[in-house]
Structure 1
Amino acid sequence: MIASFDFSFCKVEIHTDYVLTIMTEGITVIPKYNNLLLMAADQYYKNKPFVYISHRINSYAVDPSIHIEMSKIPNLVGFAVVSNNPIQKMQTALEQSLFEKELRLFTTLKSAIAWKNKIIQTHLLQQ
């Protein structure tokens, strides 16, 4: 881990090639929170592909329009949702329709990280 932050709306871990977030119980994820991801992309991943992993342990709402803005981050190559909650399957399907890059649902963090490794490798080979 390179860095970690504890904000009122989430906990963030910055890793070599991915951002891991755990959102705070009961919040609504809104587009202005995307500024955090933009800053991380600029500061930690400049000209380097990375993946966003949302570990959905807590219950919270997501404004789906945030995915339109996230799609605009050029070096963000994928989005992984980690959750055992069956409701997340429906939520992730909605989010996939708005996110213009790869978005997948996983039941374990380990499987999300394995997918992250594959998608980043694929992206690097295509350059």
Structure 2
Amino acid sequence: MADHLTLDFCEVHLYDNYMVVTVNTGENISLEYHHVLQGIADTHFKDTPFVYITHRINSYSVDPSVYAETSKIKNLVGFCVVSKNYMAKSAAKIEQLFLDKPFEIFDTLPEAIEWSKTITK
């Protein structure tokens, strides 16, 4: 069973080895929001390796400086974007350049979850 959190800017679902975040339409993910999400991950996962899955069903932006901070999370072993939207996938390809962790792009959430299981073993 997953833990579920509703924040002002997103929905978070926490599982044993991954978290799924769905950001609200029109948000800008800043360092402030990053620190909120990192705090949740630190509390939930502690030292357990995990994957961050962003389910991009809404349109929003990400401050590129967030990725430098995200790369510093020691137990974050992978990051992936789930979207069928061409523009969201194009943005994710650029975002890959800023993150120093394995980064994948998938069409469906089940694909992302399967990938997360392979790298958290």
Post-superposition Cα deviations, 1:30-73, rounded to whole Å, max 9, x if no partner, equal: 11111123212321111110000000001111112111111100
Q: Is the 8 A contact 1:78 1:116 kept in 2?
A: yes
1:44-123 to structure 2, matched below 5 A, reads: 44-121=44-121
Query: How far did residue 89 of structure 1 move?
Result: 2.3
- Give 5+ residue unaligned stretches, structure 2: none
State, as a whole percentage, how many aligned pairs show the same letter.
41
Which letter does structure 2 place at the counterpart of 1:58? N
**C-alpha RMSD of matched pairs (Å):** 1.1
TM-score by length of 2: 0.94
Name the structure 2 match of 1:28: 28
Which letter does structure 1 place at the counterpart of 2:79? F
**3-state SS of the aligned residue for 2:85?**
coil
Query: How far did residue 2 of structure 1 move?
Result: 3.7
**3-state SS of the aligned residue for 1:5?**
strand
**3-state SS of the aligned residue for 1:100?**
coil
- Of 35-44 and 63-72, more deviation after overlay is shown by 35-44
Q: Is the 8 A contact 1:13 1:19 kept in 2?
A: yes
- Give 5+ residue unaligned stretches, structure 1: 122-127
- In the TM superposition, structure 1's runs of 4+ consecutive aligned residues that sit over 4 Å from their partners are none
**3-state SS of the aligned residue for 2:120?**
helix
Query: How far did residue 83 of structure 1 move?
Result: 0.1
Q: In structure 1, how many angstroms separate the alpha carbons of the residues matched to 2:11 and 2:77?
A: 21
Q: In structure 2, how many angstroms separate the alpha carbons of the residues matched to 1:79 and 1:113?
A: 11
Q: In structure 2, how many angstroms separate the alpha carbons of the residues matched to 1:99 and 1:13?
A: 22
